[in-house]
A and B are shown apart, each in its own frame.
Chain A
Amino acid sequence: MIFEWVVYLFLAIGVFFNVLAGVGLLRFPDVYTRLHAGTKCTTFGSIFICGSVILLGLKMWYQGNVNGSVLAIHSAVALIAILVTNPTGAHALARAAHRSGVKPAGAVIDELEPKKEQPKPSARRKPSTAKKASATKKEVKKK
């Protein structure tokens, strides 16, 4: 009884996150946020759905059905394939989107942009230390 409820709970969590991924894919304003919704939520939901199938196969195996062990092991292999390939594909898509010139919605600066007219690194320091450093340099020159 409790076992069936655990399986149903896993199915419900997985379906909830998958539907959340679809809603996020429709509602978000940007390529990167859509990638965030469409990849992470589906990965999390597929963990729970495949986990419920694995539990079902283990229960069938425990009850003496040999087919259940094959079901559980193959679902685990499918889950591992999803877990390995999904974040890698998302990373490649995000890099491709950035390199093909798509900007995030409402972005002010782009830290990954190739550096053209950035201020010198000395100007980024705190003004007090910069003044001290310049003063010491001048003293050294005078001496």
Chain B
Amino acid sequence: MIAMATEYLVVLFALLLCVIMAIIRVIKGPTAPDRAVGLDTINTIVIVSMVIFGAAFNEVIYIDVAIVYALLSYISTLFIAKYLEGGKF
């Protein structure tokens, strides 16, 4: 099951390029909301790449991990936003 179709490999390399561009924004970002935006983008792309991995290796449990990751990253984004807003929790 290690052998992977070529098209999925190409798709995953393109998504890796996108994640690298978002990481550059996270490192370079002038303000804190910029970094939060970069992290949000990285979360979404990681979810999509997990779905692609699940289709490539024919393993459904990767997609289950993607669902849980989506919900947890949403909660973390909301908490970062609440912290940047500066109010009471």
Q: Contact at A100–B48, with CB atoms within 8 Å?
A: no
CB distance from A9 to the nearest CB of B (A): 12
A residues near B52, Cβ cutoff 8 Å: 49, 53
- Chain A interface secondary structure, helix, strand, loop or mixed? helix
A residues near B22, Cβ cutoff 8 Å: 22, 25, 38
Q: What's the tally of chain B residues with a CB closer than 8 Å to chain A?
A: 47
Q: Which of B26-79 contact A (CB under 8 A)?
A: 31-34, 36-38, 40-41, 44-45, 47-48, 51-52, 54-55, 58, 60, 63-64, 66-67, 70-71, 73-74, 77-78
Binding site for B on A (CB under 8 A): 8, 11, 14-15, 18-19, 21-23, 25-26, 31, 34-35, 38-39, 42-43, 45-46, 49-50, 53, 56-57, 67, 70-71, 74-75, 77-78, 81-82, 85-86, 88-90, 92-93, 95-97, 99-100, 102
